[in-house]
Chain A
Amino acid sequence: MSATVSATTGSAPPEVGSAPGSGTTAAISLVGVAKEYTSRRGDSVRAVDGIDMAIGQGEFFSMLGPSGCGKTTTLRMIGGFEEATEGNVLLYGEDVTNTPPNRRDVNMVFQSYALFPHMDIFTNVAFGLRRAKVAKREITDRVKESLALVELSGMDTRRPSQLSGGQQQRVALARALVNRPRALLLDEPLGALDLKLRQTMQIELKRIQREVGITFVYVTHDQGEALTMSDRVAVMNGGRIEQLGTPKEIYERPATKFTAGFIGTSNIIEGTVERMDGNLAVLSVPGEGRAMVPVDSPRTGGHIELTVRPEKISLCAEPPGDGCALPGTVTEVVYLGTSTNYTVTTADGTEMVVFVQNDASAAVDLDRGDRTWLCWRPEHGYALGGSGQVESERPS
């Protein structure tokens, strides 16, 4: 399969011979994919432990997780740099499990950028087109167009070593995109950049993805990055997918304790269900506090973990008439300019983090040792694992 058979810039992903032309074919499907390494001592390690997922055409899809969670190995199996020990990798419905990288119509942006140090920028970007035997004039046009897309016009004759990290990053992007692949794989591409540049590049990447309409598969350990850019995120841990959903779903309705802890700051309250009040499970909490959480099916007596995000909690002098309220003592105050982070310790020693915006109506001014009430609406709380996996289909 050559790189020339591909979509034109800006249009929808290409029509494919083997797959029906409808938009329902997934760009990339993984079916029971696993990767096992054998260490030198002979024991085997499962880096990827059975993954099923379908990435839609034109989607910005992220795999998010701590180092060693299998996200890069999964990406490398999509790219063809690692062979899956089990399962199948499908590209537009076509099985490419054993196809080498140079015959797969996907391109990769490497963590180290992996530019060819002995070639100038033009030659770097033209590399793929030349191998694919694209006509000379077309190569020139497409390289120029691609460099313009990443805002590096006029840099053709420079060497990679003469560019800054951010510019090298853009060349790596142009070098991959110029081939108009069916999917672009990005392996922590912003990892080596400083914070400011990283944020600029996040917006840039999103703009470029919208412009070219190519499926992006993005690997990162930075949850902010994943939430900002992605249409959908797969949170990975221990070689498996913990949760797959839109950034909003993952942030607001984490399916597991791991997801809740890994994405943003989460407060987790553990307790037993005392009774049901409609669809609300009422937790037994020490003291005069109240805590309830919506659940799908009624249950009493069971152990339950309630999670609530720091920005959903407010600090009140008196408990409100309804909703959740827990008394506590302020143990830490961190002033951050636009907001203040309070740590409040409840009667049973649970530490709760609260973000309070320092806006015009700011009425909270507490010091360490002050007593206060943590107040939130029951629907802002979420029972971990209690409402079943949030295994959403991708948005159409």
Chain B
Amino acid sequence: MRRRLASALTPYALVFPGGLWIAIFFVVPIVAMLSLSTMSGDLLTGFQQTFSISNYADVLSLYHEQFIRSIIYGLIATIAVIVISYPMAYWISLYGGARKPTYLFLLLLPFFVTFVLRTLSWKFLLSDDGLLLGPLHSAGIVPQDFHILATSFAVISGLAYYSVPFMVLPIYVALERINREVLEAASDLYASKVQTFLKVVLPLSLPGVFAGVLLTFVPVTSDYISAEILGGTGQVMIGNVIETLYITNSDYPQAAALSFVLMFALLLGIFAYARALGTEDVLEVSAA
């Protein structure tokens, strides 16, 4: 009897600590933020709950430019990351041999240095009198008004750079799961190397690309560090706006409303994407 009770309670015991953690640090704050987003007032006079949705209308009209920019940056960075990461994952998985673990470790090595520090070192490298442009400017090879910092290129590069491992790893795992005899079968059935890749390897690795896109697009679109350090006034992203509203302006209701708009936009985008290319459908689409 006692044993049966114990085994009935085991699942709850296993889920409880993590569940509690999520309840306290995710659900409670999000409810608090939701409530905050419909308040009005300011820091001096205090915020009152007025259940007004005017904050939402305000942030949409005020910050739609940064919003659209963030999504475009996110899309470009994600595509760039796929283009950079797929060949890497492909090579490590199919030709890495016994050194695969070494290559994966090298890929993760930059994570041992904090993101802010890495981005700051980019700034040092790319600044007008930095290691790269300094000599080029003084030698007159590039015009004096040629900059890299404070351009969209710099910000997107920073975003893409950070995400490469998050794209390589899921693609690598998907490629590792492909039975090597299946590739030999394709070649046995008269497929050239290119045909084997397009008809067999690529479709079977798409679930990895799907996972990589989720892990890249969401954090990149809401990022603010890259734009903060590498961007200028023309590269402000929605993450920077939220940060400014919160930290500098102390306009908590607007910041909360903006955060929710961003969250729903991302969720919607992801659901639309999953629907168009759901893991099961990914396979069906590619088989045709």
Name A's B-contacting residues (CB within 8 A): 2-3, 40, 79, 81, 100-103, 107-108, 110-112, 114-120, 123, 127-128, 131-132, 175-176, 179
Bound Cα distance from A369 to B39, whole angstroms: 100
Instruction: Name B203's contact: one of A3, A114, A118, A175 (CB within 8 Å).
Output: A118
> Do B189 and A128 have beta carbons less than 8 Å apart?
yes
Asked if A101 contacts B188 (CB within 8 A), the reply is: yes
A102 and B192 in contact, given A118-B203, A118-B204, A118-B287 (Cβ under 8 angstroms): yes
Q: Decide if B188 touches A107 in the complex (CB within 8 Å).
A: yes
User: Of B14-22, B25-33, B107-115, B178-186, which stretch is located at the interface?
Assistant: B178-186
Residue in B184, B195, B200, B203 with the greatest tally of chain A CB atoms within 10 Å: B184
Contacts of B187 in A (CB 8 A): 81, 100-102
Q: B287 to A175, Cβ gap below 8 A?
A: no
- B179 and A102 within 8 A (CB): no
Assess the B191–A114 pair: CB atoms within 8 A.
no
Q: Which residues of B contact A131 (CB under 8 A)?
A: 189-191, 195
**A129 CB to nearest B CB, Å:** 9
- Determine how close the nearest CB of chain A comes to the CB of B111; give it in whole angstroms: 30
How many contacts A-B (CB < 8 Å)? 69
Q: Is the CB of A117 within 8 A of B204?
A: yes
The answer to the question of B283 belonging to the interface, with a C-beta cut-off of 8 Å to chain A, is yes
B-side contacts of A81, CB under 8 Å: 184, 187-188
Q: Which of chain A's residues has its CB closest to B185's CB? A: A114
List 6 A-B pairs, minimum CB-CB distance, nearest first.
A128-B189, A114-B181, A114-B185, A131-B190, A118-B283, A110-B181
- The answer on a CB contact under 8 Å between B98 and A123 is no
Complex A-B: 25 CB contacts under 8 Å = A40-B98, A81-B187, A81-B188, A100-B187, A101-B184, A101-B187, A102-B188, A102-B190, A102-B191, A108-B188, A110-B185, A111-B181, A114-B185, A115-B182, A116-B200, A117-B283, A118-B204, A118-B287, A128-B189, A128-B190, A131-B189, A131-B190, A131-B191, A175-B185, A175-B189
Report yes or no: B189 in contact with A107, Cβ–Cβ below 8 A: yes
Whether B286 is near chain A, meaning CB under 8 Å from some CB there, is yes
Distance (whole angstroms) from the CB of A351 to the closest CB of chain B: 42
Main secondary structure of the interface of B (DSSP, over half): helix
Chain A min CB distance to B68 (Å)? 36
A132 to B190 CA separation, bound complex (whole angstroms): 7
**Interface size on B (CB < 8 Å)?**
22
Cα A128 to Cα B195 in complex, Å, equals 11
Which of chain B's residues has its CB closest to A175's CB?
Answer: B189
Report yes or no: B190 in contact with A3, Cβ–Cβ below 8 A.
yes
Cα A116 to Cα B203 in complex, Å, equals 10
Most A-side CB within 10 Å, residue of B185, B200, B286, B287 = B185
15 more contacts with CB within 8 A, not counting A112-B181, A114-B185, are: A81-B188, A101-B187, A102-B189, A108-B185, A108-B188, A110-B184, A115-B182, A115-B185, A117-B283, A118-B203, A118-B283, A119-B287, A120-B287, A123-B287, A127-B199
The complex places the Cα of A119 from the Cα of B203 at a distance, in Å, of: 10
Residues of B whose CB lies within 8 Å of any CB of A are: 98, 179, 181-182, 184-192, 195, 199-200, 203-204, 283-284, 286-287
- The answer to whether A116 touches B192, judged by C-beta atoms less than 8 angstroms apart, is no
Q: Which residue of A lies closest to B183 (CB)?
A: A114
Contact across chains for A127 and B184 when beta carbons are under 8 A apart: no
CB distance from B94 to the nearest CB of A (A): 15
Q: Is the CB of B179 within 8 A of A127?
A: no
Q: Is B188 a contact partner of A79 (Cβ separation < 8 A)?
A: yes
Contact of B184 among A2, A114, A175 (CB under 8 A): A114
Q: How far is the CA of A289 from the CA of B190 in the complex (A)?
A: 64
Chain B residues closer than 8 Å to A120, beta-carbon distance: 287
Q: Considering residues A79, A100, A108, which has the most beta carbons from chain B within 10 angstroms of its beta carbon?
A: A108
Q: For A132, what are the chain B residues with a Cβ–Cβ distance below 8 Å?
A: 190
Provide the residues of chain B in CB contact with A108, threshold 8 Å. 184-185, 188
